[in-house]
């Protein structure tokens, strides 16, 4: 059966979307023909200057607004229609979309276009978004979707395609939801894939590395889940437990892609939540990379990964990792306060973290540390402990990443499900603009702490990874404008958007917001502001 795989905006543009290249491989292993289209990257590459910041991740609120997305699709109907015809040119019987909250509205809009052009195709939605049943009902009500896959699609999607092709009994294909006689029916849960070694190697046939921001690397996920269960993280809702490929399987796939993708491929970015959830596996992998280096190669294959602070990251182990090509480790430090770490359910000791960071630096591994600001319950004293910790690690880190969302409350996280437990004001208002019940923890307070953190970084000579495809100052004005608009404090919102436009007058989103706010102030009269 011919199957099309689609990634809609907004998503990353540094490399092909991992879910698509892995699912393509699984479908081909099941005997299906596959055509993959990254609508997100195609639109990104052809974007005009006035839409440049649409792909700045921290400014992606645009894609969460249904009306904004519809307007975008209308204004760019010619380009999007051409992409739709490209998808249908391969005559697929099934079209599958990988969805997250950020790509929901654009996926719905594109699915509508495809259904109008080809009424007989079967449309499938899947992705982490559908771990929440409310999104399943929402998608059936708002889109022409025929099937929704819940959970991992590695086995479900190929089996679903085969069942559709043969006219078999869909009720015997676990892991899917179907619209049946006006109601939504479920075929029952599918067990998570236990053996990640059984996965076929990722398929980059249609999504070429050279069409992305960094054509010299591949993204690879060698484990699913995490050994920790941090309160702010939503990923444990998507990945049950902690499962991982063997060291040998990891090494084999890297060698395969080095031989088959590009002679210029020089590094691997591991997308694992915690590559070192099993330290023995890490050591075995390093030994294989040293004994059997990927060839052909004009330089050592390098790799970076997220990692957890673990006592097993000793001087000897870190030295082994460095010799095996580990270029950078990214640690989710988040806070230097033991009190905050306890509330986060983050299971490490700052003293151990300092030792690991020093030893990694000594081994020649670059270290990036991620930080959050204003986690519920964080006091000024707690924040000052984070500043003290920054002073301690400053000589040993290559860069820090202060979260530009400061402390977003991720949907599906423990924090999101239990706001009262953390002193968050309910009813819950906004994942970015939430407030504490005592009113002391607000979005501007969190932004202010981030600014103080960055000022200290500048003083200490620590490189700051801003994480945005625009300037940090423009990002702050943009988000403060949206914050005050959300609070209906239109005067303050207008002030920040005007500041933004003075430096970037070509930004279409900001110019439209200025017009919209001016109209609101005219209709509603002056607001008190702050």
Taking 60 as the threshold, does the pLDDT of residue 528 lie above it? no
- Whole-angstrom distance, CA of residue 451 vs CA of residue 457: 10
pLDDT value, residue 468: 60
DSSP states along 172-226: GSTTEEEEETTEEEE----PPPS-GGGSPPP--SSS-GGGSS-TTEEEE--EEE-
pLDDT value, residue 224: 96
Point out the least confidently predicted range of 166-175, 463-472, 504-513: 463-472
- Whole-angstrom distance, CA of residue 502 vs CA of residue 173: 56
CB contact at 8 A, 371 and 338: no
Q: Kindly indicate the confidence band of residue 235, based on its pLDDT and cuts at 50, 70 and 90.
A: confident
CATH class label, 216-470:
alpha beta
pTM of the prediction? Answer: 0.91
Torsion over CA: 414, 418, 423, 424 (sign):
positive
Point out the least confidently predicted range of 73-82, 153-162, 465-474: 465-474
Give the residue from 62, 73, 84 showing the smallest Cα distance to 10: 62
Q: Which CATH architecture has domain 2-186?
A: 3-Layer(aba) Sandwich (3.40)
What average pLDDT does the segment 216-235 reach?
94
Where does 374-426 show beta strands of DSSP type E?
Answer: 399-402
In degrees and rounded to multiples of 5, residue 458 shows phi and psi of -60, -40
pLDDT value, residue 290: 95
Q: Is the peptide bond before 427 cis (omega within 30 degrees of 0)?
A: yes
> How would you write 133-160 as a 3-class SS string?
HHHHHHHHHHCCCCEEECCCHHHHHHHH
Point out the least confidently predicted range of 141-150, 286-295, 368-377, 461-470: 461-470
- Whole-angstrom distance, CA of residue 96 vs CA of residue 8: 11
Taking 90 as the threshold, does the pLDDT of residue 508 lie above it? no
pLDDT value, residue 467: 65
pLDDT value, residue 473: 85
pLDDT value, residue 504: 85
Token pair recorded at residue 11: 């998503």
Tens digit of each residue's pLDDT (9 = 90 or more) over 398-438 = 999 999 899 999 988 999 999 999 999 998 878 899 999 99
- Host H or E run for residue 2: strand 2-7
441-446 long-range Cβ contacts below 8 angstroms, 24+ apart: 441/374, 441/376, 441/378, 443/406, 443/479, 443/480, 443/483, 444/480, 444/483, 445/374, 446/373, 446/374, 446/406, 446/407
- Kindly give the pairing relationship between strand 33-38 and strand 217-220: unpaired
Taking 90 as the threshold, does the pLDDT of residue 470 lie above it? no
Q: Spell out the domain ranges in the chain.
A: 2-186, 216-470, 471-530
pLDDT above 90 as % of the chain:
79
Taking 90 as the threshold, does the pLDDT of residue 284 lie above it? yes
Tens digit of each residue's pLDDT (9 = 90 or more) over 247-272 = 999 999 999 999 887 667 899 999 99
Point out the least confidently predicted range of 141-150, 431-440, 521-530: 521-530
Other beta carbons within 10 Å of 351? 10
pLDDT value, residue 530: 45
Give the residue from 277, 273, 358 showing the smallest Cα distance to 310: 277
Token pair recorded at residue 135: 């999104």
How many CA atoms are closer than 13 Å to the CA of 97, on its beta-carbon side? 34
Integer distance in angstroms from the first to the last C-alpha of the chain? 60
pLDDT value, residue 525: 65
pLDDT above 70 as % of the chain:
96
Angle (CA) 137-143-147 rounded to 5° is: 65
The conformation of residue 296, written as its DSSP 8-state character, comes to S
| SS3 category, 13 | coil
Q: Is the peptide bond before 338 cis (omega within 30 degrees of 0)?
A: no
The conformation of residue 263, written as its DSSP 8-state character, comes to T
pLDDT value, residue 15: 95
- Whole-angstrom distance, CA of residue 510 vs CA of residue 446: 23
In degrees and rounded to multiples of 5, residue 39 shows phi and psi of -60, -35
Token pair recorded at residue 392: 């301690």
- Whole-angstrom distance, CA of residue 359 vs CA of residue 329: 12
Taking 70 as the threshold, does the pLDDT of residue 529 lie above it? no
pLDDT value, residue 469: 61
Give the residue from 422, 426, 425 showing the smallest Cα distance to 442: 425
How high is the mean pLDDT of the chain? 93
């Amino acid at each position: 059966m011919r199957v099309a795989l689609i990634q809609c905006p907004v998503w990353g543009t540094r490399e092909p979307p991992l879910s698509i290249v892995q699912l393509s491989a699984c479908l081909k292993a099941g005997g299906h023909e596959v055509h993959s289209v990254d609508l997100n990257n195609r639109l990104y590459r052809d974007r005009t200057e006035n839409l440049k910041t649409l792909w700045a991740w921290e400014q992606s609120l645009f894609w969460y607004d249904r009306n904004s997305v519809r307007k975008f699709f209308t204004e760019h109907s010619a380009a999007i229609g051409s992409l739709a015809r490209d998808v249908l040119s391969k005559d697929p019987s099934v079209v599958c979309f990988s969805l997250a909250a950020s790509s929901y509205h654009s996926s719905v809009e594109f699915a509508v276009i495809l259904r109008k052009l080809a009424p007989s195709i079967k449309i499938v939605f899947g992705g982490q978004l559908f771990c929440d049943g409310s999104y399943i009902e929402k998608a059936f009500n708002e889109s022409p979707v025929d099937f929704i896959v819940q959970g991992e699609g590695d086995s479900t999607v190929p089996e679903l395609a085969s069942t559709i092709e043969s006219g078999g009994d869909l009720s015997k294909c676990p892991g899917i939801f179907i619209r049946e006689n006006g109601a939504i029916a479920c075929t029952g849960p599918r067990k998570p894939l236990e053996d990640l070694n059984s996965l076929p190697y990722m398929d980059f046939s249609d999504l070429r590395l050279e069409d992305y921001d960094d054509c010299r690397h591949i993204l690879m996920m060698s484990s699913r889940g995490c050994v920790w269960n941090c309160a702010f993280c939503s990923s444990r809702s998507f990945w049950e437990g902690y499962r991982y490929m063997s060291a040998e399987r990891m090494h084999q796939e890297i060698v395969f892609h080095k031989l088959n993708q590009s002679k210029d491929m020089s590094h691997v970015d591991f997308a694992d939540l915690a590559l070192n959830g099993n330290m023995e596996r890490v050591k075995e992998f390093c030994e294989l990379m040293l004994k059997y280096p990927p060839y052909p190669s004009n330089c050592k294959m390098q790799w970076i990964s997220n990692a957890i602070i673990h006592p097993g990251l000793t001087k000897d182990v870190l030295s082994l990792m460095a010799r095996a090509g580990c270029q950078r480790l990214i640690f989710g430090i988040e806070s230097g306060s033991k009190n905050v770490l306890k509330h986060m359910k983050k299971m490490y000791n700052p003293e151990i973290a300092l030792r690991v960071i020093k030893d990694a630096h000594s081994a020649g591994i670059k270290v990036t540390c991620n930080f959050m600001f204003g986690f519920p319950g964080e006091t000024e004293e707690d924040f000052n402990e984070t500043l003290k910790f920054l002073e301690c690690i400053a000589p040993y880190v290559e860069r820090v990443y202060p979260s530009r969302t400061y402390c977003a409350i991720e949907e599906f996280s423990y924090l999101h499900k239990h706001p009262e437990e953390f002193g968050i004001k309910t009813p819950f208002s906004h994942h970015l603009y939430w407030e504490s019940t005592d009113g002391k923890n607000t979005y501007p307070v969190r932004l202010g702490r981030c600014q103080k953190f960055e000022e200290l970084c500048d003083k200490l000579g620590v490189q700051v990874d801003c994480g945005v495809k625009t300037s940090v100052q423009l990002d702050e004005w943009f988000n403060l404008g949206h914050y005050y608009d959300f609070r209906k404090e239109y005067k303050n919102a207008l002030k920040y958007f005007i500041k933004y436009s003075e430096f970037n007058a070509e930004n279409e989103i900001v110019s439209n917001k200025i017009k919209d706010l001016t109209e609101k102030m005219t209709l509603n009269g002056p607001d008190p502001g702050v």
